[in-house]
Structure 1
Amino acid sequence: MNQARITRLLALTDFSAPARHAAERAAMVAKQTGSALDLLHVIDSGLLKRLQQLGGGVSAEVEERLLDTARENLQRLAEVLMTHRDVTPGVHAAKGALLRTLVAQADRMNPDLLVLGARGASHMRHLFLGSTAERMLRMAVQPLLVVKQQPHEGYRKILVAVDFSACSLRALRLAQAVAPGAEFVVFHAFEVPFESTLQYAGIKESEISRFRAAAQLEADTKLRELIRDSGLAPASTTALAVRGNATQHIIEQEQESDCDLIVIGKHGEVLLEDLLLGSVTKHVLVEAQGDVLVAI
């Protein structure tokens, strides 16, 4: 049934508290799935250049000391994860242009999942939830787990937002791979085309209601088919289709269903959304309270 498998995770860290939370979550997923885990820190060459401007140059010795310190911090983080999560990560330090180096290292190591914090140290604070995030999401070929909360247990309940594009089935299978045994809410928000225009044009409410009912039936049917194709267990799966704005309803449903992870595709089914990364995906990344897993 072409189920997704997680065999290797790569956690990106700048040693901030949010990044440590991301590393802890990565270790929990690695333990639960029997996957290998690597930790990566990149020394930003842009910051080195700034240091050079301030001090009239940065010697090779200074750069090497910075790399040594990064390796020591990585090793300490790895030891914490070994002690508290019973996982032994590999550690990797690199130097270069931050975004380009992160993506290049991820491509070289080829993990099944990238894990990162939603906030970071000052020079990375807006890396993953700003314009750079959009560029990285376009460039990355691996799914990304954006960690917003300090982890205390495995994911219990997962909201998978689907639009019935090709990415929807991949998102469901990825969610099962990341959190086997969790409960799932498979969610779709739909709208009736030109509904406000139909109302403005004076179309009878009974006629508009007929369109709404047909759209609801179509969405319910497609949800059942998608859940069947994904292999999700019916006993632990809820299908929910609602009419209205997708972003608003996804965020509301996260709270109403008490979900601790949202899974959403990188792209929407509309070409324009593909070009913009997906406006729904971007808003969910910013507005969600819990962690967000972006399927590729």
Structure 2
Amino acid sequence: MQSIRTLLAASDLSAFARHAAERAAMVATDVGARLSIAHVVNGGGLNALRHLVDVGTGDVAARLLDEVRGEVRELVDDIGQRFGAKVDMHLATGAVLSELSMYAEVIDADLLVLGARGSSVVREWLLGTTTERILSKTTRAVLVVKQMPHENYQRVLVPVDFSPRSADALRFARSVAPKADLILLHAFEVPFEGKLRYAGVESDALAALRVTAKREAVEKMNALVTAAGLGDAGVRRIVLHGDPAATILAQEQEQDCDLIVIGKRGLGLLEELLLGSVTKHILAQSNGDVMVTDRVCR
């Protein structure tokens, strides 16, 4: 079984970022991993502030950094005490994306944890943009936290497409939530089904194609579970006909899942683009947290 050794929670000191830090601490405590909380002060903003204030007023930027450092230290200490975790603190000045990426490399983070929103409408938009940029560039798993954490993850939904990364996503899901029920979901559509219907193929023939496609998907699902070494305990398998994004969101609600684990890439360029589209839709529309995996955890 793979393991998660290091988590990095990015914080802008908003309430939503605190939720992310709390979830990261909960996971770190549960799996015995190291946790670091990072805050990046925008370097361009600091330089602009220095130009705006009078020289005689002293270094306002330095005082601002001291205040921010104190807030981050307070957050780190509170999280550590509440969850019984050893939490490292990292404060940097510069471009948010590059600083977070560099620090993730330094500590070799297996999982980046981000809040779904910032502390205002403007920050919400900015954090959404940063999250998407991180997802497009990083080879590390990213957990986007949408809900205030009350307990460890109980039911994890894992959409699979039977690509090699599906097995990686399953193992990652088990590593993040070792005691949770895993619900494996494959949503399928008959290739060119709409065109076949338009071409006059009868409903009975299309239904027969769906039955065949579902049977093949069930066989692949069983093989995937075996290859991932999960066993049958705490693992459910669902194969449904329908649009992938709509089916995933519907099953999130029907199965009462608190986490969705989805891979970033599938089979080839076309599948990568399709899965990217589905992943973005799930990130935007899901009620619970979403983890996007890319490389395997070690």
Q: How does 1:215-294 map to 2 (within 5 A)?
A: 215-272=213-270, 274=272, 278-294=276-292
**Which amino acid in the other structure matches residue 105 of structure 2?**
D
More off after superposition, 174-183 vs 63-72: 63-72
More off after superposition, 266-275 vs 218-227: 266-275
Check 1:280–1:11 CA distance in 2 against 1; reply closer, same or farther (3 A cut). same
Q: CA RMSD in A?
A: 2.1
Check 1:60–1:287 CA distance in 2 against 1; reply closer, same or farther (3 A cut). farther
1:66 counterpart SS class: helix
Q: Structure 2 CA distance, aligned partners of 1:182 and 1:58? A: 59
Cα displacement (A) at 1:52: 4.7
Q: Structure 2 CA distance, aligned partners of 1:238 and 1:64? A: 54
Match of 1:126 in 2: 125
1:129 touches 1:285 (CA, 8 Å); kept in 2?
no
Match of 2:151 in 1: 153
TM-score normalised by L of structure 2 = 0.92
Match of 2:163 in 1: 165
TM-score normalised by L of structure 1 = 0.92
1:125 counterpart SS class: helix
Q: Structure 2 CA distance, aligned partners of 1:281 and 1:186? A: 16
2:191 counterpart SS class: coil
Match of 1:19 in 2: 17
Match of 1:78 in 2: 76
Match of 1:205 in 2: 203
Check 1:200–1:28 CA distance in 2 against 1; reply closer, same or farther (3 A cut). same
7, 29, 32: which one pairs with 2:30? Answer: 32
1:234 counterpart SS class: coil
Match of 2:194 in 1: 196
Cα displacement (A) at 1:139: 1.4
Check 1:53–1:163 CA distance in 2 against 1; reply closer, same or farther (3 A cut). farther
1:146 touches 1:293 (CA, 8 Å); kept in 2?
yes
Cα displacement (A) at 1:278: 0.4
> What residue ranges of structure 1 are gaps of 5+ in the alignment?
none
101, 104, 117: which one pairs with 2:102? Answer: 104
Cα displacement (A) at 1:83: 2.1
2:142 touches 2:293 (CA, 8 Å); kept in 1?
yes
1:129 touches 1:286 (CA, 8 Å); kept in 2?
no
Aligned length: 293
Query: Would you say 1:181 and 2:179 are equivalent positions?
Result: yes
1:51 touches 1:57 (CA, 8 Å); kept in 2?
no
1:235 counterpart SS class: coil
Cα displacement (A) at 1:133: 2.7
Check 1:259–1:124 CA distance in 2 against 1; reply closer, same or farther (3 A cut). same
Deviations 1:242-282 (A, max 9, x none): 11111101011000000000000112335145358700011
Q: Structure 2 CA distance, aligned partners of 1:278 and 1:60? A: 49
2:128 counterpart SS class: coil
Check 1:59–1:280 CA distance in 2 against 1; reply closer, same or farther (3 A cut). farther
1:174 counterpart SS class: helix
Q: Structure 2 CA distance, aligned partners of 1:58 and 1:41? A: 29
Match of 1:43 in 2: 41
Percent identity for Structure 1 against Structure 2? 46
2:9 touches 2:113 (CA, 8 Å); kept in 1?
yes
Check 1:84–1:286 CA distance in 2 against 1; reply closer, same or farther (3 A cut). same
Q: Structure 2 CA distance, aligned partners of 1:52 and 1:282? A: 38
More off after superposition, 36-45 vs 194-203: 194-203
**Which amino acid in the other structure matches residue 103 of structure 2?**
Q
2:188 touches 2:241 (CA, 8 Å); kept in 1?
yes
> What residue ranges of structure 2 are gaps of 5+ in the alignment?
none
Check 1:96–1:59 CA distance in 2 against 1; reply closer, same or farther (3 A cut). farther
Q: Structure 2 CA distance, aligned partners of 1:58 and 1:171? A: 56
Cα displacement (A) at 1:145: 0.7
